[in-house]
Chains A and B, each alone.
Chain A
Amino acid sequence: MYQLYFVLQARALTSQTAESDAIRFLVGTQSLKFDNQIHIIDFDDENNIISKSVLQHQAGEIWHISASPADKAVLTTCYNKTSESRVVTCGAVWRMPPEWESGSHESPDDPHNSHNPQNLELLCHLDNSSHGNASCVLWEPMGDGKHVISLADNHALLWDLTESSTQATISSSATLEGKGQLKFTAGKWSPHHNCTQLATANDTAIRGWDLRTMSQIYCIENAHGQLVRDLDFNPNKQYYLASCGDDCKVKFWDVRNINEPVKTLEEHSHWVWSVRFNHSHDQLVLTGSSDSRVILSNMVSISSEPFGHLVDDDDLSDGEDNHQDEKTKEPLQDSIISTYEEHEDSVYAVEWSSADPWLFASLSYDGRLVINRVPRALKYHILL
């Protein structure tokens, strides 16, 4: 377990999606008084060293951050812009300056040596004043970095970026109609179905959208007793979706049957703010909650890797012994693998590393980033 403190409070965390070699996380800070920063956290797995680089994000406090799947240097943020007496949340596409890696690399011994941090280079704004405050920006999963969706109040906007990402145009949009002030709280772009589906959360409902027609395809009313805070798609099972919310529950849905969740976890003692499937082994589910806990669960029963299935197919010849082994190992149930209690304040974001599937980071409001590993025993259990 490795901890890292930031000076400022932070909510936004993402792993650098396009980077598959280095274990790298991006954290956006939240401060109304100081210039906000994007911290680039590098974790050297072999030497167990954390190193941190800082880029200035002067536009405002960062509520959401998201890295391009195609270009390591490109990222989007949602940030609060305060002008006079108005607070507006905007979205923007940024490019990291090419020299950040050499230039402002801080040594881990002196993390506050913040001389002349470099600025992010603004590529374009994802703004449209008529569409209200952006709550998050989503990249097309595994795409070429040309498409993003931003959720702004009750609109879902699909943007096309130019080659250099310097210009963004709205190609289509969907609007949530209904009584009262509807507002998207979270969203996720499905990696399945050729990336034509989007899931959004507003209040207690989860909706699915077809991006080709920008129309709603399903709606799970009252998915949670209270507000839905986050969503994630199972990377390997196209109809499976996880959601979490203020009722302290994490629910797993099969969107083909939206009447009942497939599975419900009720382990947190306060709102669950973030839920993430492991990118490679989707039985590993990470959740972060404002009870300051991070919980790693092993959802074998709804995983795409039923336990021991592969081995079964491989060794049909000398089956006897293997079968015996299978049977002894079989009763691996859905279980909580571990509860991480290193945080002292609400955990608003958890993220798996995109480079190492056994590594994850969690970020709490007091500015503490914790990097943890999946327990070795479980790792071997899954691999072998």
Chain B
Amino acid sequence: MDGDICATATTPPDSDPARKRRVHGMLKLYYGLNEEGKTVDQAESMNPCDINGTHFDPEVYLNKLRRECSLGELMDQETCMVKQIRSLDSDMQTLVYENYNKFISATDTIRKMKNDFKKMEDEMDCLSTNMAAITEFSAHISGTLQDQHAQITKLSGVHTLLRKLQFLFELPARLNKCLELQAYSQAVSSHRRARCVLQQYSHMPSFRGIQDDCHAIMDKLAQELRQKFRDGGSSAKDLSECVELLLQLDEPAEELCDKFLIHAQSRLEANLRGLEAELRPPLSSGPTSVIDPSIGPARRLSAAPTAGSPTDPTSPGNPFLSSSSRTDILEFIDRGCNEFVSSLCLVIASYQELFVNRPQEGELASKNIPHMAIGKLHAFVDAMATCYFLLVERRIQEEKSVGDNSLLVRALDRFHRRLQAVAKLLPGSAVPSQGTEIVVRAARERIKQYLAALQRFYLDSLRDVRQALAAPRLGGSSAGGGSHLAGPATGKDAPASLPELLSSLSASILNQIKSVLASVHLFTAKDITFSNKPYFKGEFCSQGVRESLVVNFIKFVCQSSRQFCESAGDRGGSTPPALLLLLSRLCLEYETSTITYILTLTDEQFLVQHRSPVTAVAALCGEAREAAQKLLNHYVKVQGLIISQMLRKSVETRDWVNTIEPRNVRAVMKRVVEDTTSIDVQVSLLYEEGTRKAHSSDSSKRTFSVYSGSRQQTRYAPSYTPSAAMDTNFLSNIHKLFSERIDIFSPVEFNKVSVLTGIIKISLKTFLECVRLRTFGRYGLQQIQVDCNYLQMYLWRFVSDENLVHFLLDEIVGSTAHRCLDPAPMEQSVIEVICERG
């Protein structure tokens, strides 16, 4: 109870009604009633200490208090309780007073009501007697009026019938008048009203006559309507009215649909013919074939330069294009859109208005016209669109020049956009998706064309490079005596051009790729309607652009490079070596940076999502590296072969037995050194120096003395003294000295020294093998000594390990000594003098 008190104390005064309720509630509780008048749940108040409970036991409560509370608390409890008792008393008094007053007033009211009811009873009795009198009178009146009423009803019925009959009789005249006034709709509605009746009474001759007349007139009317419908010159509204009336006249809807569509078809076909006229006549057409060849070459001419320099927007091909009275594709598509597509839309709209979207009433509804009509419309639209698409595709296919892609893209965009209108008008139609397919096909075709253009461009560039390379050294490549001058010439001319050629080649290819990417990128531009189609978002980017275009082009570059090695390999020298070198460097650059760059560029521009498997950059790089390696190997082979051939010829064609005492180095050796120098220059333009083993302080001299002196003696000493001990000794010497086997045609590294080492290895090995096939006289040996010394003086600087040159030259001189009839080596000092003299 004290909890409640506290709560009331805290409640603000404005919640007074709530407080009142609460007081009532407490009182109810006290009397054992709850809201519904049931006794309060017992369980709640079983506690004898609950002062508000029914089972309250003051004794227990008091004991509890006494036991649990301190004196102060008891005092507080007491004052609180006293206060509560007091407030309860005053509440009770107020309630008793209020209720007493209400009871008195209620007693008063009841007494007053008793008096009023008595008075009302009297009045009701009076009313009932009056009502009985009225009823009596009314029955009397209606009895008298009965006859007249029946007569009037009959007369009014006759009147209506007569009016209807009059209408029927007047109907033919009225219809005729309507026909005259061309008020077809009125005529039809009139006829419709009369039709049933006439039908019903057609067994009566008079009605039959009327019906026949009406039929005749209506037939005439229908005829007229059909005529009007057929003419087609009338406006859409007239037409629709026409159709509606005809439908009401039980004209078969199917026939009407067909007629309408045939009518539309003729107009659309006219449009299509107009479009077709703009296309180049097909090659098979008879009379135009006379003109065709003249256009053919012109177009081919025009296509060539545009293909050659597709970046050039003002290609000289355009005049040719316009001269053949051809509209460009954008105009063509524009025309197609404006004429064909818009008429088609119009047809669809009005058709739907007429046959599909009309409110259906009466028996027409049962025929399910919209279903049939829609079917017909779809078939019609599909057929027309197919014709249109054929034309568009033909036109797109003619778009071969890869010059300006934006025109095509804009045309395709417009084409695609306009088809969306059809999609809106005719939701289930396959036309827009077919249109999208055409766009996709065009895009695919475009990518193919761009790839072909890139490949052509690459080959053209290569041809240009080849020409540029060939220009300064005409006749130089045909190795022989006349090329003596060409050697240094390449040395001078090539330096200026080789790196430039390389950089311009790679730059122009890169630019070309970029411009192609930019062109292709137009397909995915945001403002292009078809760019958000799934194809253009996914497959076009990854499979189309990245794989088919970029990756394929890179592969093509590698592959065509490799072909240079294969096709030229056997015949030798059909490809200028400088080109091999240049391509090798190009491929290497592709491997190191360009491929990554191009692919990153592509991926960025096209946001390629790598859902479908794509060629990895690493794989392409590997391919490029392989190509570069192959090209460089081939370069070494070709250059080595050129020098080898000189050496071989020089050894094979000379009579070494009867040669004269050497007075100077043979010209061939000078030529070899010169060529090697020019190769060195050439390679250094494109490749880094590379590492070499440390040189001895005076490589050119020291080593030569070694082999002409001690080495040479050990080399063929055993021949004089054939003994087992010496023999094995000699072999073990070789083992010790040259434990490493020399691979002659081995892959080279991507640096100058390695390339030169390879070439020199090949040349000297050839020299060795040729020497072994000949027999020498004394002076022959000496000449070889001089030649080798000369080579030694100049060649060591080119190779990575000069010991290699020493070894091979040693072998040459050693083998010569073996093959010499009279081995008397020349004095080293004499050799040196001769060599220095040149």
* Chain A residues within 8 Å of B, Cβ to Cβ: 5, 7-9, 31-34, 80, 82, 85-87, 111-112, 222, 224-226, 247-248, 269-271, 290-292, 341, 344, 346, 365-366
**Contact across chains for B657 and A31 when beta carbons are under 8 A apart:** no
**Contact across chains for A111 and B724 when beta carbons are under 8 A apart:** yes
Measured between alpha carbons, how far is A224 from B820 in the docked complex, in Å?
Answer: 31
Selected contact of B570 from candidates A224, A269, A291, A346, CB within 8 Å: A224
Measured between alpha carbons, how far is A341 from B741 in the docked complex, in Å?
Answer: 10
Q: Main secondary structure on chain A at its contact with chain B?
A: loop
Measured between alpha carbons, how far is A271 from B718 in the docked complex, in Å?
Answer: 27
**Contact across chains for B572 and A7 when beta carbons are under 8 A apart:** no
With both beta carbons as reference points, the residue of chain A lying nearest to B777 in the complex is identified as A85
Please give, as numbers and ranges, the residues of chain A lying within 8 Å of B521 by CB-CB distance: none
Measured between alpha carbons, how far is A241 from B77 in the docked complex, in Å?
Answer: 131
Please give, as numbers and ranges, the residues of chain B lying within 8 Å of A248 by CB-CB distance: 745
Q: Does B746 contact A (CB under 8 A)?
A: yes
Given contacts A291-B741, A291-B744, A341-B741, 14 further A-B contacts (CB under 8 A): A8-B719, A8-B722, A82-B657, A85-B657, A112-B722, A112-B724, A222-B570, A225-B569, A226-B641, A248-B745, A269-B745, A270-B743, A290-B765, A291-B743
Q: Does B618 contact A (CB under 8 A)?
A: no
With both beta carbons as reference points, the residue of chain B lying nearest to A89 in the complex is identified as B775
Please give, as numbers and ranges, the residues of chain B lying within 8 Å of A80 by CB-CB distance: 775
Selected contact of B727 from candidates A7, A85, A344, CB within 8 Å: A7
6 intermolecular pairs with C-beta atoms under 8 Å apart: A80-B775, A222-B570, A225-B571, A226-B641, A269-B746, A290-B744
Selected contact of B765 from candidates A247, A270, A365, A366, CB within 8 Å: A270
Number of interface residues of B (CB under 8 A): 33
**Contact across chains for A5 and B731 when beta carbons are under 8 A apart:** yes
**Contact across chains for A225 and B769 when beta carbons are under 8 A apart:** no
Selected contact of A32 from candidates B738, B744, B769, B821, CB within 8 Å: B821
Q: Does B138 contact A (CB under 8 A)?
A: no
With both beta carbons as reference points, the residue of chain B lying nearest to A292 in the complex is identified as B741
With both beta carbons as reference points, the residue of chain A lying nearest to B722 in the complex is identified as A7
Measured between alpha carbons, how far is A7 from B570 in the docked complex, in Å?
Answer: 39
With both beta carbons as reference points, the residue of chain B lying nearest to A293 in the complex is identified as B741
Measured between alpha carbons, how far is A194 from B769 in the docked complex, in Å?
Answer: 37
Q: Report the minimal beta-carbon distance from B648 to chain A, rounded to whole angstroms.
A: 9
Please give, as numbers and ranges, the residues of chain A lying within 8 Å of B819 by CB-CB distance: 32
Measured between alpha carbons, how far is A259 from B769 in the docked complex, in Å?
Answer: 30
Q: Does B818 contact A (CB under 8 A)?
A: yes
Q: Report the minimal beta-carbon distance from A229 to chain B, rounded to whole angstroms.
A: 10
Q: Report the minimal beta-carbon distance from B118 to chain A, rounded to whole angstroms.
A: 127
Please give, as numbers and ranges, the residues of chain B lying within 8 Å of A5 by CB-CB distance: 727-728, 731
Please give, as numbers and ranges, the residues of chain B lying within 8 Å of A33 by CB-CB distance: 719-720
Q: Does B772 contact A (CB under 8 A)?
A: yes
When A and B form their complex, which 7 residue pairs have the shortest distance between CB atoms, in order from nearest?
Answer: A7-B722, A270-B744, A269-B743, A225-B570, A87-B775, A85-B658, A269-B745
Q: Report the minimal beta-carbon distance from B718 to chain A, rounded to whole angstroms.
A: 8
Q: Does B735 contact A (CB under 8 A)?
A: yes
Please give, as numbers and ranges, the residues of chain A lying within 8 Å of B743 by CB-CB distance: 269-270, 291
Q: Does B325 contact A (CB under 8 A)?
A: no
Please give, as numbers and ranges, the residues of chain A lying within 8 Å of B94 by CB-CB distance: none
Please give, as numbers and ranges, the residues of chain A lying within 8 Å of B777 by CB-CB distance: 85
Q: Report the minimal beta-carbon distance from B768 to chain A, rounded to whole angstroms.
A: 8
Please give, as numbers and ranges, the residues of chain A lying within 8 Å of B818 by CB-CB distance: 9, 32
**A8-B719, A225-B570, A290-B769 known; A82 and B821 CB under 8 Å?**
yes
Measured between alpha carbons, how far is A224 from B658 in the docked complex, in Å?
Answer: 33
Please give, as numbers and ranges, the residues of chain A lying within 8 Å of B728 by CB-CB distance: 5
Q: Report the minimal beta-carbon distance from B426 to chain A, rounded to whole angstroms.
A: 61
Measured between alpha carbons, how far is A344 from B741 in the docked complex, in Å?
Answer: 8
Measured between alpha carbons, how far is A312 from B743 in the docked complex, in Å?
Answer: 44
Please give, as numbers and ranges, the residues of chain A lying within 8 Å of B820 by CB-CB distance: 32
Q: Does B723 contact A (CB under 8 A)?
A: yes
Q: Which of A8, A33, A34, A112 has the largest number of chain B CB atoms within 10 A? A: A33
Measured between alpha carbons, how far is A278 from B777 in the docked complex, in Å?
Answer: 40
Task: Mark each residue of chain B from 815 to 826: 1 if its CB lies under 8 Å from any CB of chain A, else 0.
Answer: 000111100000
With both beta carbons as reference points, the residue of chain A lying nearest to B765 in the complex is identified as A270
Measured between alpha carbons, how far is A87 from B258 in the docked complex, in Å?
Answer: 106
Please give, as numbers and ranges, the residues of chain A lying within 8 Å of B570 by CB-CB distance: 222, 224-225, 247
